[in-house]
């Protein structure tokens, strides 16, 4: 089996509206001028790097923004332009939500359970309801359509509707999978919060996590609680303080409540696991979150060694770099480090791991997927050219109310769909 990363292409409406409560980076940079074109090109560069490392790469598409259909559900009437004008005039906060490009962080698109883990031998994907934040709750409908298109040709894949919105589910950002290798039966870990901490919400509910375990028919699963300290420090998702790949769990010492019991349960089910824990005395929660040390992509290369792909910000935190140098000196499973510039995404609170949804499947199943969602060098070239032509160069906070910008975003997405061979009614 192989693991495919499906990255979200950053949409033309990428902006810094500061909509995400509990996301320190989002709040810190609220009101700044964004650079959507640069953001999309930075994301494409990361996708190219994954392909250069020999890893299959896919993409998910930006959603229709501003989402006039959602505004109509909020009581505005008329054509798209009329609806957006009325929302900006009377409820500008609603337009800011309808304009968000947050679907770029596809770690929140769904929770994925590969076929070896489920009793029925099917690949299960449950679309996240993202109910805790208005701008993210808009995403589920369009995400469902994309994932069902992507996996429709694959007979042993099932894309489930989101769980009821009463129970917050944030997708793969609060889910980890450990296994001997991607093709072996895995242990899936679902991480939830217990309630607000430090004024910030716990976005994943235990009830939602339990529902996913039942729905996917998992053989081996654990529920773990995120520590209140991590939530209060700004770890709004578990993937800000922990990441797993095959037999490695890379985590901060303060990521989990009852961590000793969790580690014991993991070792009981997967004795060969290697837990690499970063002590708080070496890297504080604040330093880990500022650098997004754990929101990195941990991937297995063809020679069996693991590579940690980090955001460039990690280089700017001395404690993080000192610990990483010591990590390499241990000659453990993580043998290589690479850094990439993703500053536009990082300023809104999303590092390398936020930008991708991981799907493990058999290599022979790859041609069964809708190939429009898979990336190669020629398609990456065409996407970069299209982004350069159509994506706005900058968006300031006051620009969000500009009808010319709305039209530019709609035109840019239409050009993208046309280039990739999609029809608007499909999505």
Asked if pLDDT for residue 371 goes beyond 90, the answer is yes
The pLDDT of 117-125, averaged and rounded, is 98
Of the listed ranges 193-197, 216-220, 272-276, the least confidently predicted one is 193-197
Asked if pLDDT for residue 195 goes beyond 80, the answer is no
- Residue identified by tokens 């959507």 is 36
Q: What is the pLDDT of residues 145-157, one digit of tens each?
A: 999 999 999 999 9
- With CA atoms as reference, report the closest residue to 226 among 247, 206, 245: 206
The pLDDT of residue 198 is 66
The pLDDT of residue 203 is 83
Asked if pLDDT for residue 392 goes beyond 90, the answer is yes
Cβ neighbour number for residue 119 with a 10 Å cutoff: 9
Please tell me which residue in 3, 38, 139, 170 is annotated as part of the active site: 170
Question: Domains of the chain, with CATH numbers?
Answer: 3-65+100-426 (3.75.10.20)
Cα distance between residue 225 and residue 190, in whole Å: 8
Percent of residues, the chain, with pLDDT higher than 70? 98
Give the phi and the psi of residue 398 in degrees, each rounded to 5. -70, -20
The pLDDT of residue 196 is 67
Q: Is 84 a catalytic residue?
A: no
Asked if pLDDT for residue 22 goes beyond 80, the answer is no
Please tell me which residue in 354, 365, 390, 409 is annotated as part of the active site: 354
The pLDDT of residue 23 is 77
The pLDDT of residue 414 is 98
The pLDDT of residue 30 is 84
The pLDDT of residue 329 is 96
Rounded to the nearest integer, the mean pLDDT of the chain is 95
The pLDDT of 117-122, averaged and rounded, is 98
Please tell me which residue in 14, 182, 216, 237 is annotated as part of the active site: 237
**Dihedral, CA of residue 71, residue 106, residue 350 and residue 345, to nearest 10:** -70
Q: Is the peptide bond before 399 cis (omega within 30 degrees of 0)?
A: no
Asked if pLDDT for residue 20 goes beyond 80, the answer is no
Percent of residues, the chain, with pLDDT higher than 90? 92
The pLDDT of residue 197 is 62
The pLDDT of residue 385 is 98
- Describe the strand order of the beta sheet including 334-340 as a list of residue ranges: 297-300, 306-311, 334-340
Q: Is 354 a catalytic residue?
A: yes
Q: Is 325 a catalytic residue?
A: no
The pLDDT of residue 307 is 98
Q: What is the pLDDT of residues 65-112, one digit of tens each?
A: 999 999 999 999 999 999 999 999 999 999 999 999 999 999 999 999
Q: What is the pLDDT of residues 23-46, one digit of tens each?
A: 777 788 889 999 999 999 999 999
């Amino acid at each position: 089996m192989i693991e495919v990363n499906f990255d979200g292409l950053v949409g033309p409406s990428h902006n810094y509206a500061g909509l995400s409560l509990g996301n320190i980076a989002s709040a810190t940079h609220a009101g700044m001028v964004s650079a959507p074109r640069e953001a999309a090109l930075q994301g494409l560069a990361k996708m190219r790097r994954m392909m250069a490392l020999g890893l299959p790469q896919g993409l998910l598409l930006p959603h229709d923004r501003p989402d006039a259909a959602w505004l109509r559900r909020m009581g505005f009437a008329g054509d798209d332009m009329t609806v957006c004008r009325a929302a900006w005039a009377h409820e500008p906060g609603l337009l800011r939500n309808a304009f968000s490009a947050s679907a770029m962080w596809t770690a929140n698109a769904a929770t994925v359970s590969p076929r070896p883990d489920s009793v029925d031998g099917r690949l299960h994907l449950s679309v996240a309801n993202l109910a805790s934040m208005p701008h993210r709750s808009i995403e589920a409908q369009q995400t469902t359509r994309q994932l069902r298109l992507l996996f429709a040709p694959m007979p042993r894949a099932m894309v489930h509707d989101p769980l009821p919105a009463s129970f917050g589910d944030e997708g793969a950002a609060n889910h980890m999978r450990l296994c001997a290798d991607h093709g072996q039966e895995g242990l899936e870990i679902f991480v939830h919060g217990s309630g607000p901490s430090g004024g910030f919400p716990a976005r994943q509910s235990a009830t939602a996590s339990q529902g996913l375990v039942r729905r996917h028919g998992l053989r081996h699963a654990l529920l773990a609680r995120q520590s209140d300290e991590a939530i209060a420090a700004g770890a709004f998702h578990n993937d800000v303080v922990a990441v797993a790949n095959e037999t490695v769990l890379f985590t901060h010492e303060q990521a989990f409540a009852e961590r000793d019991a969790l580690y014991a349960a993991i070792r009981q089910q997967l004795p060969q696991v290697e837990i690499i824990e970063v002590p708080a005395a070496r890297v504080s929660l604040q330093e880990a979150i500022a650098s997004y040390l754990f929101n990195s992509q941990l991937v297995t290369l063809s020679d069996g060694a693991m590579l940690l792909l980090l955001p460039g910000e990690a280089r700017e935190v001395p404690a993080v770099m000192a610990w990483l140098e010591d990590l390499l000196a241990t000659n453990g499973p993580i043998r290589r480090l690479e850094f990439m510039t993703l500053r536009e995404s990082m300023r809104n609170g999303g590092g390398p791991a936020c930008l991708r949804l991981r799907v493990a499947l058999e290599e022979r199943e790859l041609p069964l997927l809708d190939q429009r969602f898979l990336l190669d060098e020629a398609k990456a070239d065409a996407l970069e050219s299209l982004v350069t032509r159509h994506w706005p160069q900058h968006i300031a906070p006051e620009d969000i109310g500009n009808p010319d910008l709305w039209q530019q975003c709609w035109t840019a997405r239409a050009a993208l769909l046309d280039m990739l061979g999609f029809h608007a009614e499909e999505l």
